[in-house]
Amino acid sequence: MRRVRYRYVAVKIDDGELDQRDAVMAVSRNLIRLFGEYGASVAELTYIGSELNNRILIFRCTHVALEMVRASIASLREINRRRCSTRIVYVSGTLKALRRRISQSRDELAVQR
Partner 1 sequence: MRRFIDLNLNLAVERGCEEEIEEMIGWAAELGYSCIGVPIPIDLDPDVTQKIRRICDRYNLDFIKRLNLAPRSVTDLLDALRSLRRRYEVIAVSCLSKNVARQAAKDRRIDLINFPSTDPRKRFFDSAEAALASKALTSLEIEMSPLILLWGFSRIQLISHLRRETLIAKKYDVPIVISSGAGDKYVMRSPRDYASLAYLFDLDYSSAIKAISENPSKIIVRNRRKLSPDYVAPGVYIVKRGRDC
Binding-site ranges for partner 1 (CB under 8 A): 34, 67-68, 70-71, 73-75, 77, 83-88, 113
The maximal CA–CA distance of the chain, rounded, in angstroms, is: 46
Q: Return the number of the residue (1 or 36) whose C-beta is nearest partner 1.
A: 36
For the CB of residue 1, give the shortest distance to partner 1 in the complex, in Å: 28
Q: Return the number of the residue (1 or 109) whose C-beta is nearest partner 1.
A: 109
For the CB of residue 28, give the shortest distance to partner 1 in the complex, in Å: 17
Q: How far apart are CA 18 and CA 104, in angstroms?
A: 24
For the CB of residue 88, give the shortest distance to partner 1 in the complex, in Å: 6
Nearest CA to 18 out of 59, 48, 72, 55 is that of 55
For the CB of residue 96, give the shortest distance to partner 1 in the complex, in Å: 22
**DSSP string across 51-73:** ETTTTEEEEEEEGGGHHHHHHHH
Q: Return the number of the residue (1 or 17) whose C-beta is nearest partner 1.
A: 17
Q: How far apart are CA 110 and CA 66, in angstroms?
A: 25
